[in-house]
Amino acid sequence: MSDRFYVTSPIYYVNDVPHIGHAYSTIISDVLAREARLRGREVYFLTGTDEHGQKIEQAAKAKNETPKAYADKISGEFKRLWDYFDITYDRFIRTTDFDHETGVQKAFEIMLKNGDIYKGDFEGRYCVSCETFWSDSQLLEGGACPDCGKPTELLKEENYFFRMSAYQDRLLKWYESDENLILPRSRRNEVIRFVQGGLEDLSITRTTFEWGIKLPKSADDPKHVIYVWLDALMNYVTALGWGTDEKNTRFWSNATHVIGKDILRFHAIYWPAFLMSLNLALPKRIAAHGWWTRDGAKMSKSKGNVINPREVADAYGLEQFRYFMLRDVPFGQDGDFAQKALIDRINSDLANDLGNLLNRLLGMAEKYFALNIKAVNLPRFGEEKKQIDALIASLDPLFEALQLHRYLEELWKIFAIGNKAINDFKPWEKMKDAKADQVAELLVFIANLLAKGATLLSPIMPKNADLIAKALGIAINAPTRKALIDQGGWIASFALKAQEPLFERVDSLRLAEAPTATSAANEKSGLITIDEFKKIEMKVGLVAEAKKIEKSDKLLLLKVDLGEGKPRQIVSGIGEFYAPEALVGTQVCVVTNLKPAKLMGYESNGMVLAAKDENGLRLARPDAAVANGTPIK
Ligand code: MSP
């Protein structure tokens, strides 16, 4: 294994603020970076923003801002979020950075010189939303984009083309070179089939808008800007100094790109072809994760159901969120964000299985040994130790194949062995029998198991792993990993430290539910969720005063005592059915949280409930008196 490791997240378009899909790409990249560092490898982790192109130009225009000012703002939001999330990136690149722009122009120059770029006429359909060209055969009915379904536009312009067709065979050979090249493995076949279907040359410049990198001076063609995907993909090498100072290009020899499945084609076809043209090494792994939906529905700004990752982290804990995302969904598959699932993971996996194990260890160690535990040897747990060693051995290949949900599943089996060992061993009985030595051995065994487990958990939950380590009196770092994991070492004694419980149990949802769940249900069946119903506040009130509103047959002006001190003024359309004097002193049911409205010049602060059929209208009332202000549920 090379001792250098380069990991990249996608660079995010700045036409939208960060959501959990973006956070997912970044968190996976962060986990890979942290794991590699823990193995003592020299790591470079790149993330950033993709700022050029028609889509961004349009988004800026809609906000009446210059593209750069607009990009500055949203790019800043991404960067701040990753900082808030303790994402351990080495560089946050922006495609508007000078060294990046210089590198992209250099790449264009090389490709132009070596004959991979030529000038021709382009006619075809373009999806601005995906920044993708489509051939007629790929389009959906009516010319819509096959990826996002939005209408495409017909482009007719003089363009520069990249000779993609020349790379078909070399690409196909490359896909065969390593079965872990494209992850999950099932996606590799998709790419192969696509390339076998034939590659067309790719239009790589545009003249219809301006917000992009200009062609190099040597091309002497100022009308054109470089196509956003050539620009964007190049970030992976320009960030390392390719085309400028070459400072970090040594990392390029071992690159892993973490991306979403929607941008696999750009990474597995365009990108390696560009690299081949530039005579650069190819990435070692392209890992494509699935998409997140919310309560079963696709997230989108227009539906208003986009989840803000910061809110989730604030409500449930950043590392709880990281754990959930990685544990709950098999890598490569789509996942659904439901708070209930997140809460279940927190309560059962984190609070119960892991948190309690540490509490039990610390509790007994304190009670029986004043936190200092020492074992003469650990023959007693030979069988368990063997199981643990076997589990640990199974983790490496899972991590390598990015099966992080399986990795965590297996890791949790180690904690389960610990909990079971305590239950079976019944240390409290052994203490009564004056077998303290044996109990000390058990506790040393558990402490070891937690030390190993925390080390292996650290890339995913670094802060909590460090808290466990602190309680165990150890530090998680490359030498610890080497000793405890690679060399399978066991520690003979621990000076433990007390530690507050790691994970608070969660009893109820902490974020508002998605509006989509309701609106989708509404559209289909007219049903609403209980949470939507709960938004309506209703109370019983006593009509203290009532009179007719002049010039109106229907409207009455009521003063209703809702137990609020001062009666509320409510305008009610029941005048044809009830005389004012018949209402005074009786109780009615009122919707109390309606926005105030003005009727015939009078402000109304609520609505009296009634049932109406062809025979007339009857007020809804409690069938016996209750206190004024009693809520109706
Ligand atoms: N700018 C390009 C990437 C260029 S990389 C050289 C881009 N940007 S993006 O902002 O639209 O998307 C960035 C990443 O976020 C992609 O990996 C995409 O898959 C991911 N996600 C966006 N929405 C998502 C979900 N709802 N769920 C999971 N990930 C999704 O594409």
CA angle, corner 331, sides to 327 and 332, nearest 5? 145
Provide the pLDDT for residue 525: 58
* Short-list 122, 95, 89, CA closest to 107: 95
Ligand 1 atom 5: residue of nearest CA: 10
The whole-number pLDDT of residue 517 equals: 45
Determine the pLDDT at residue 518: 46
Helix (H) or strand (E) holding 6: strand 4-13
pLDDT at 521 over 60: no
Ligand 1 site-directed mutation target among 75, 95, 291, most atoms within 8 Å of CB = 291
Confidence of residue 514 (pLDDT cuts 50, 70, 90): low
Task: Give nearest CA residue, ligand 1 atom 22.
Answer: 21
pLDDT digits (tens, 9 = 90+) for 152-193: 999 888 899 999 999 999 999 999 999 899 999 889 999 999
Q: Which of 17, 85, 7 is nearest to 325 (CA)?
A: 85
Fold topology of 536-619: OB fold (Dihydrolipoamide Acetyltransferase, E2P) (2.40.50)
Rounded Cα distance, 116 and 273, in Å: 10
Please tell me which residue, 375 or 457, carries the higher pLDDT value: 457
pLDDT in tens, 573-616: 999 899 999 999 999 999 999 888 888 888 899 999 999 888 88
Confidence of residue 335 (pLDDT cuts 50, 70, 90): very high
Topology of the domain comprising 319-495: Isoleucyl-tRNA Synthetase; Domain 1 (1.10.730)
C-alpha torsion 47→12→279→174, nearest 10: 100
Atom 14 of ligand 1, nearest CA residue:
22
Nearest CA, atom 12, ligand 1: 12
Break the chain into its structural domains and give their ranges: 4-289, 319-495, 536-619
Pocket residues: Cβ below 6 A from ligand 1: 10-13, 21-22, 24-25, 50, 232-233, 235, 259-260, 262-263, 291-292, 299
Instruction: Find the helix packing angle between 318-328 and 309-316, rounded to 10°.
Output: 110
Q: What is the CATH number of domain 4-289?
A: 3.40.50.620
- Same topology between domain 4-289 and domain 319-495: no
Closest C-alpha to ligand 1, atom 15: 22
Of the candidates 523, 518, 407, 507, the residue with the CA atom closest to the CA atom of residue 456: 407
User: Do 213 and 229 contact (CB within 8 A), yes or no?
Assistant: no
Cis bond upstream, residue 184 (ω within 30): yes
Cα separation, 213 vs 293, whole angstroms:
34
Tally of CB atoms within 10 A around 455: 23
- Taking phi over 0 as left and psi of -120 to 50 as alpha, with beta for the rest, 140 belongs to beta
Give 534's contacts (C-beta < 8 A, 6+ positions apart). none
Q: Which of 27, 50, 148 to mutate to test the pocket of ligand 1 (most atoms within 8 A of CB)?
A: 50
So what's the pLDDT on residue 526? 62
Residue 224 confidence (pLDDT):
96
Q: Residue 491, exposed/middle/buried by CB under 10 A (0-12, 13-18, 19+)?
A: middle
Residue 480 has pLDDT above 80, yes or no: yes
